[in-house]
Structure 1
Amino acid sequence: MDDIIQGIAIYALPVIFAITLHEAAHGYVARHFGDLTAEKAGRISLNPLRHIDPFGTILLPLMMFLASKLVMGNGLLFGWAKPVPVNFNQLRQPKKNMLWVAAAGPGANLLMAFFWAAIIKFGINAPDGIYVKPMILMGIAGIEINVVLMVLNLLPLPPLDGGRIAVSLLPNKLAWKFAQIEPYGFVILLVLLVSGVLGVVLWPLITITKQMIVILFGLYV
């Protein structure tokens, strides 16, 4: 039980900020390119309370963490925040600007992974008198969560960010056809998850990304 409580304490902050800042980034970049929908809805904010979905941000990650901790001994997490409203038709160049709005979320996750890596680096080099183990553990959790979210969202499947990036880059005719997948995107994602295909595709990319961060920051805990 103590391990579970400690795990929740370590993962809570990284999970909340990974999910909510991902959404806030979408709104900020959309505003930059002319769409004020998110701003009018009060969603361009670093306040997690504006983005938290009670089920997707709190209840589901908590249930998944507890279940995986009890069954497999490790804490697996998945969740989402309330999607930031974006009206792509309000962008100055909708098809072109869509790429940057979509890429903002995964980009925010990458920056947060770097932030947590810097926290670990600080912890490794901190004086012996400072109790840094929780800081390092939280940093490891932060890298894990943000890299998983980044790689997952870059999957080229609408309505994931990678799907919208693909729509932006494809020629108009192909982009229109590809965008028609969006209503079925989450069903396809669920099938890939249950079948194990999603893990086969994503985990090598996740592992490589984490290794690159370790090398970049010289993290050897």
Structure 2
Amino acid sequence: MDSANFFRFPIEEWPFVLLSLAIGLSVHEFAHAYTAWKFGDPTAKDRGRVTLNPMAHLDIFGTILIFIAGFGWAKPVPVNRSYFKKPRMMSIFVSLAGPVSNLLIVFIGLFLFYLLDYLGAIENLSTGSITALVTFFKYLISLNITLFLFNLIPLPPLDGYRIIEDLAPQPIRAKMSQYEHWGAFIFLLLVFIPPLSRVTIVPLFSLSDHILLLFGNIIGSIFGM
């Protein structure tokens, strides 16, 4: 098999992919850990997870899988909800913190790119520098919007599932817990069986275009574009 076809991204663009992933995954897990800590749970902080250091968050296999399949994971942040004054409500905020942080990176990335263009900084760069800059922002924005949407999938152990679990009444929560172990298997079916992915994963990720359009319009109006 041709290695160029085996991997999800062109090999020459791996440094930009890795840097974007390091930023996105680290900020995502930091957001979970920091929010839990501020709500009174010291578990993640005691384990060194309230940090933006990628080495504390990246999972080797999960990162490699992103290069191969386009999706993966970081080390999960340990959360002990018994420390929370309002466990269900605060757990929802902790779960939301990760995806929202990725959405914030998308907005900041777009804003910085528009700002550089507005200031005329890009046109003064060499061709190679422009290519590198555009490639970096392309992956920073696209991978973080993927992380945002991916983590909203309502399957364990993703954030979307935890949010629904905390919103559900207790009888439904008990039923959900009985089937949690099927989460990874169901997810793989949705990803790798085209008829299923076309009615589940594909519609979800098509939202990325609408999000980018919305952010683009907001930022464009700021700079009068």
Smaller-chain TM-score bracket: 0.7 to 0.9
1:60 has 2:65 as partner? yes
1:98 to 73, 77, 91: 91
Provide the residue aligned with 2:110 in structure 1: 117
Moved more, 128-137 or 167-176: 128-137
Seen in structure 2, the aligned counterparts of structure 1 residues 61 and 93 have a Cα distance that, compared at 3 Å, is same
Superposition pairs of residues 9-48 of structure 1, within 5 angstroms: 9-48=15-54
Question: In 1, are the aligned partners of 2:190 and 2:201 still within 8 Å (CA)?
Answer: no
3-state DSSP class of the match of 1:42? coil
Seen in structure 2, the aligned counterparts of structure 1 residues 33 and 213 have a Cα distance that, compared at 3 Å, is same
Provide the residue aligned with 1:129 in structure 2: 124
Seen in structure 2, the aligned counterparts of structure 1 residues 91 and 56 have a Cα distance that, compared at 3 Å, is same
The Cα of 1:201 is off from its aligned counterpart by 1.9
Provide the residue aligned with 1:68 in structure 2: none
Question: In 2, are the aligned partners of 1:123 and 1:135 still within 8 Å (CA)?
Answer: no
In structure 1, stretches of 5+ residues that fail to align are 65-75
Write the letter of the residue equivalent to 1:120: F
1:208 has 2:195 as partner? no
Superposition pairs of residues 133-148 of structure 1, within 5 angstroms: 133-148=131-146
What is the alpha-carbon distance in structure 2 between the residues aligned to residue 112 and residue 157 of structure 1? 24
The Cα of 1:121 is off from its aligned counterpart by 1.4
What is the alpha-carbon distance in structure 1 between the residues aligned to residue 60 and residue 197 of structure 2? 26
Runs of 4+ aligned residues of structure 1 deviating over 6 Å after TM superposition are none
Question: In 2, are the aligned partners of 1:19 and 1:79 still within 8 Å (CA)?
Answer: no
Question: In 1, are the aligned partners of 2:154 and 2:161 still within 8 Å (CA)?
Answer: yes
Listed one character per residue, the Cα deviations across residues 28-80 of structure 1 (whole Å, up to 9, x for unaligned) are: 111122211000001010111111222222x3334x1xxxxxxxxxxx62221
Question: In 1, are the aligned partners of 2:107 and 2:215 still within 8 Å (CA)?
Answer: no
Listed one character per residue, the Cα deviations across residues 72-100 of structure 1 (whole Å, up to 9, x for unaligned) are: xxxx6222111111112222221221111
Q: What is the TM-score with the length of structure 1 in the denominator?
A: 0.83
Listed one character per residue, the Cα deviations across residues 108-144 of structure 1 (whole Å, up to 9, x for unaligned) are: 1111111221232134333421243322221121121
Write the letter of the residue equivalent to 1:209: S
Listed one character per residue, the Cα deviations across residues 11-44 of structure 1 (whole Å, up to 9, x for unaligned) are: 1211111122211111111112221100000101
Q: What is the TM-score with the length of structure 2 in the denominator?
A: 0.82
Provide the residue aligned with 1:193 in structure 2: 191
The Cα of 1:198 is off from its aligned counterpart by 3.3
Identical counterparts, % of pairs: 33
Superposition pairs of residues 2-13 of structure 1, within 5 angstroms: 4-13=10-19
What is the alpha-carbon distance in structure 2 between the residues aligned to residue 137 and residue 113 of structure 1? 14
Question: In 1, are the aligned partners of 2:59 and 2:75 still within 8 Å (CA)?
Answer: yes
Seen in structure 2, the aligned counterparts of structure 1 residues 208 and 191 have a Cα distance that, compared at 3 Å, is closer
Listed one character per residue, the Cα deviations across residues 126-185 of structure 1 (whole Å, up to 9, x for unaligned) are: 342124332222112112111111111111222211111001111122122223322221
1:81 has 2:74 as partner? yes
In structure 2, stretches of 5+ residues that fail to align are 221-225
3-state DSSP class of the match of 1:132? helix
Provide the residue aligned with 2:175 in structure 1: 177
What is the alpha-carbon distance in structure 2 between the residues aligned to residue 145 and residue 200 of structure 1? 22
What is the alpha-carbon distance in structure 2 between the residues aligned to residue 144 and residue 136 of structure 1? 12
Provide the residue aligned with 2:223 in structure 1: none
